[in-house]
Amino acid sequence: MNEIMEIHIHRTISCLIMAVLFLLWDYSSAEGPRVRLFSATDFMLFDSNDLLYFEILQPKNISYIYKVKPAKNFGTKFELELGTVNLVAADPIDACHSVDNGKALWGSIALVERGGCSFVSKTKTVEHHGAIAVFISDNLQFDNAESLVDMIHDGTTREVSIPAGFILGSDGYHIKRGIEEAGMEAAVISIPLNITTSPHLYTRQPPWSYW
């Protein structure tokens, strides 16, 4: 068993135990303290804030649930009711000036990487090629402790007409690599994922990322 699988199994067991046994004393009752049991979904809701979740359906080698942090002050809201949509890695991945796979981005969500230019510039590039949204991953690809940053406007007069969200660098790296290893042009994803109706949400996180 490889190291990643061992980490994933141990963490899954810990999460399940925590979800079943974690107790919170509620002193708001006039009858005295009460014990409340929380589910795995409850834990995700506590930490979700304004996060968005999506699931990769294909390829199977990266079929997990991922989180996205919408941009703070640019782009439109992630009001996507698409069922399934393609997630396509931009080429080049930074998408600072132009891309060579613009046809594949049309009607899809673009995956790009942080660095080289502003978040707005990247978003405008893929928007120009018909992308309906963009996920921008951190460029710290192998840091499991990385956090989701607030993406802000670059101060120019440019307006963005599609949603933009930030994902972990490790997620972006493995998604791009997984698509390539499967010999596919894009990943097929389900978005948005309703965490209140997803009982396997907490146990289907990627094995390389710590939520």
pLDDT band (50, 70, 90) for residue 83? confident
Q: CATH number of the domain at 76, please.
A: 3.50.30.30
Position 7 confidence tier, pLDDT thresholds 50, 70, 90: very low
Write out the residue range of the structural domain in which residue 120 sits. Answer: 50-203
Q: Is 134 among the domain residues?
A: yes
Q: How many distinct structural domains can be found in the chain?
A: 1
Q: Is 41 contained in some domain?
A: no
Residue 210: inside a domain: no
Above 60 in pLDDT, residue 201? yes
Residue by residue, DSSP assigns 53-108 as EEEEEESGGG--EEEEEE-SSSS-------EEEEEEE-SSTT-SS--S-HHHHTTS
Judged against a pLDDT cut of 70, whether residue 47 lies above it is answered with no
Long-range contacts formed by 203-207: CB under 8 A, 24+ apart: 203/12, 203/15, 203/16, 203/40, 204/55, 204/64, 204/65, 205/64, 205/65, 205/66, 206/62, 206/64, 206/66, 206/170, 206/171, 206/174, 207/4, 207/5, 207/7, 207/8, 207/11, 207/64
Instruction: Please give the backbone phi and psi of residue 66, each rounded to the nearest 5 degrees, phi first.
Output: -125, 160
d(CA 149, CA 85): 25
Q: Is the pLDDT of residue 28 over 60?
A: no
In a domain, residue 61? The reply is: yes
pTM: 0.76
Report d(CA 211, CA 191) in Å as an integer: 19
Residue 208 lies in a domain: no
pLDDT at 142: 60
Mean pLDDT of the chain: 80
pLDDT (average), residues 204-208: 85
Residue 22, pLDDT score: 42
pLDDT surpassing 60 at residue 128: yes
In a domain, residue 133? The reply is yes
- Asked if the structure places residue 7 within a domain, the reply is no
Whether residue 158 is contained in a domain is answered as yes
